[in-house]
Amino acid sequence: MSELTEEQLKTLEARLLKMREDVTARVTAVGEQGRPVDLGTPIGRLARMDAMQVQQMARAQRRRDETLLQMVNAALSRFRHGTYGECLRCEEDIGFERLEISPESALCRACRQSTES
């Protein structure tokens, strides 16, 4: 496991568990908005277009939340396996500062920047 203290690990694990709870709730709530627009509903053309736009935005948000949920679950799995806080690519410590900002991070700053380039 990384160079994180027990207190830091407890803090980060609690944040990840809270994130999982919050994101799961959002995925469930957004699911209702992402249902197809009923073309038989007697509403005006602009209202139908607005409804379709809301539907597309809800689907996009749901995809983002589902991706985040996968990342959070993967981070919690790394906790269980004793590898949380280690970069998946170079195996160096990710560092508390980065994990504090983004506890689901799987890559250190250097590896993350190299994947974005």
> Is 34 among the domain residues?
yes
**Predicted pLDDT of residue 29:** 79
Alpha helix segments (H runs only) across 1-44 = 6-33
The sign of the dihedral angle between the CA atoms of 37, 63, 9, 12 is: negative
Is residue 101 domain-resident?
yes
Predicted pLDDT of residue 28: 83
Domain that holds residue 109: 6-116
* Residue 73 within any structural domain of the chain: yes
**Sign of the C-alpha dihedral computed for residues 2, 105, 79 and 6 taken in this order:** positive
- Whether residue 16 contacts residue 76, with contact meaning beta carbons closer than 8 Å, is answered with yes
pTM strictly above 0.85: no
pLDDT tens, residue order, the chain (117 aa): 568 899 999 999 999 999 999 999 988 876 655 555 555 656 666 777 787 788 888 889 989 999 999 999 999 999 999 999 999 999 999 999 999 999 999 999 999 999 887
Q: Is position 57 within any domain?
A: yes
DSSP 32-47: HHTSPP-TTS---HHH
pLDDT at 96: 94
Please report whether residue 71 resides in a domain: yes
Domain count, the chain: 1
The answer as to whether 1 is a domain residue is no
Is residue 46 situated within a structural domain? yes
pLDDT at 41: 59
List the CATH number of the domain containing 74: 1.20.120.910
